[in-house]
Chain A
Amino acid sequence: MSVTAKEVQHVAALAELAVEDAELPALTEQLNRIVGFVAQLTELGDLEGAGRYVAGPEATPLRPDVVAPADLVRPPAELAPEFIDGFFVVPKLGALEEP
């Protein structure tokens, strides 16, 4: 399978990454190189019954329902590029959309 420039643009949009038109051809080529490389896995066929390896414990530990917030050495206001009246502030979304 090869990746088209259009697909690269679509994926870049999904990942909210700006890709300049000038960069697109080289980037598409590089991605095709990588996709071609990882596509070797098709040699392994359907891989039925291989199961799934889960790294770490078999079961997730659960936390008791206690309010004990982790400390922040500095508050959100000091981290944020823009912070007004206790709120993080960002430019508005152009099209009024919610996912």
Chain B
Amino acid sequence: MSARAVALEVEGRLAELSARGLNATLSWSLAALEAEAARVDAMPGTGALHGMPVALKDNIVTTELPTTCGSRILEGYVSPFNATAVNRLRAAGALIACKANLDEFAMGSSTEHSAYGRVRHPLDPERVPGGSSGGSAALVAAGAVPAALGSETGGSVRQPASFCGVVGVKSSYGRVSRYGLVAFGSSLDCISTFGRSVAEAERVLAVISGPDPRDATTLDRPPLLPVPAPASLAGLTIGLPTEYFPADLDPGVKAGCDRAIALLRELGARVVAVSLPHSRYAVPTYYIIAPAEAAANLARFDGARYGPRFPADGDLRALYRATRGKGFGPEVRRRILIGTYVLSAGYYSAYYGRAQAARARIVEDFRRVFASGVDLLFTPTTPTTAFKAGEKTADPVAMYLADIFVCPASLAGLPAMSLPLGRSGGLPVGGQLIAPGFEEARMLAVAKTLEAQLDALAEVR
């Protein structure tokens, strides 16, 4: 199939989803798709992703389509450079399909905080697709594209993957270049991949991975190579952290996990209970560190050098305050204020200092467990299935707790992924695998084996 034909097909699907009101995309055009296709059709065809359309979360910069980060403060902003990940996708023959909707500046767990309207869950328009990479997840779930890039800071790819019933993979921090990802929490941010299948998500991840001289936080490690699914899991030890299986876990989620755990045993894995005692401090720790880094990262948005200006009478400070006060939505504003507060004079050691130390303890929990003979951890990805729009927006903390199972692996920089386990009342249930640092291959292999055995569309109870 020629890339041009792919482009036309994608265009058709995106148009259909727009008409349905999914609101998963922020920018795309037939002209842009055709330009991508022309470029790909001129290539030899040997690229790992030749002809594959890939959606990009709209916080990854591109030079043709705008990058808004779901915010008014970047409305109409077209970046003069491309993200490294985008360059690598293109070099492998992929087509950039569109820019996907997101929670503003990647801050959120439902994509309800986009300045351009919320994204609807493909299976139930009253529900959220999760966030912050909700648009990317919805596009893959709705079949518009086979794969998409999202970004994670506290779980923003795994969580919507779980809600939408697709695969979401975050690699180790430092494996994928952040050059061109609009920074939110710099020590946490990871460009991550969505796919209909583990193989597709893995293939895209392999293409975008690798050290980048433009990103000082990337590490040089052996390249990520797709691995075959083992037929048997004998010899493998899977740990179940007790803190992730609370008594009040949603019954559907619990059932989905129980099914998967039983399957793991059937396949020969040894399944043991383990403990990550500092788990409950992960979300509070995250909500100190991420906002602090974000407050500094978002200071550059002031209407001075790019982006729109918001009308202000008066001097330069009036311009800054009007642009930032009106250009940022309420959740971003809250996080900037929290971030500024926890770094401010008198509060640094009580909050930021303490959070860094708590983070070290969380990292140590994982290290200890993996050193004790556990090869992988298995947990639910989210405490519930997709919730209804508006359900958690009244209380910011309620929304934060949606990340309770995904957040710790982000803090620890560990590779982690979500895999669809089945359905509960028609809504997808996701299971999470967490691997030791740079052991993505192990995690992806086991995921493939599970995927082959699980019917992701079947009700779990």
Contact = CB atoms under 8 A, between A and B. Distances in A.
A–B contact with Cβ pairs below 8 Å: the answer is: yes
Interface of A: 1, 3, 7-8, 11-12, 14-20, 27, 30-31, 33-35, 37-44, 47, 50-57, 60-61, 63, 70-76, 78-82, 88, 90-94
A18 B81 contact: no
| 8 closest A-B pairs by CB | A18-B325, A47-B357, A56-B217, A94-B315, A50-B357, A18-B321, A79-B306, A16-B320
A11 B340 contact: yes
Contact of A37 (B174, B213, B284): B284
Nearest to B306: A79
Nearest to A62: B216
B337 to A, nearest CB: 5
A33 B397 contact: yes
27 contacts: A3-B341, A8-B337, A11-B341, A16-B321, A17-B324, A18-B321, A18-B324, A27-B334, A34-B396, A38-B284, A38-B338, A41-B358, A47-B358, A51-B360, A52-B359, A53-B359, A53-B360, A55-B217, A56-B187, A57-B217, A74-B63, A78-B80, A81-B305, A88-B304, A88-B305, A91-B318, A94-B316
A79 B340 contact: no
Interface size class of B (residues with CB under 8 A): 35 or more
Contacts of A60: 216
A24 to B, nearest CB: 11
Interface in B61-99: 63, 77-78, 80-81
Given A34-B397, A70-B81, A73-B63, A47 B337 contact: no
B174 A12 contact: no
A17 B400 CA distance: 23
A17 B333 contact: yes
A8 B340 CA distance: 10
Contacts of A50: 357-358, 360-361, 364
B302 interface: yes
Given A34-B397, A90-B316, A80 B360 contact: no
A61 B360 contact: no
Nearest to B219: A57
A55 B81 contact: no
A94 B314 contact: yes
B245 interface: no
B305 A80 contact: yes
B81 A93 contact: no
Contacts of B358: 41, 44, 47, 50
Given A50-B360, A91-B318, A92-B316, A40 B337 contact: no
A87 B284 CA distance: 44
Given A34-B397, A80-B306, 12 more contacts: A8-B337, A12-B337, A15-B340, A16-B299, A17-B324, A17-B328, A18-B326, A31-B341, A44-B278, A55-B187, A79-B77, A90-B316
B192 to A, nearest CB: 15
Nearest to B336: A15
A91 B288 contact: no
Nearest to B287: A38
Given A18-B321, A33-B396, A47-B357, A38 B351 contact: yes
Interface string B392-412: 000111001000000000001
Contact of B413 (A31, A34, A55, A75): A55
B355 interface: yes
A37 B142 CA distance: 36
B439 to A, nearest CB: 17
B121 interface: no
A79 B214 CA distance: 22
Contact of A94 (B213, B317, B355): B317
Contacts of B354: 41-42, 44, 47
B275 interface: no
B342 to A, nearest CB: 8
A40 B80 contact: no
A40 B219 CA distance: 33
Contacts of B333: 17, 27
Contact of A30 (B281, B305, B363, B396): B396
B363 A18 contact: no
Interface in B324-350: 324-326, 328, 333-334, 336-338, 340-342, 344, 350
Contact of A81 (B63, B174, B303, B318): B303
Contacts of B325: 17-20
A73 B174 contact: no
Contacts of A41: 281, 284-285, 288, 351, 354-355, 358
Contacts of A11: 337, 340-341, 344
Name the residue in A18, A27, A44, A74 with the highest tally of chain B Cβ atoms < 10 Å from its Cβ: A18
A57 B320 CA distance: 35
Interface in B289-318: 295, 299, 302-309, 312, 314-318
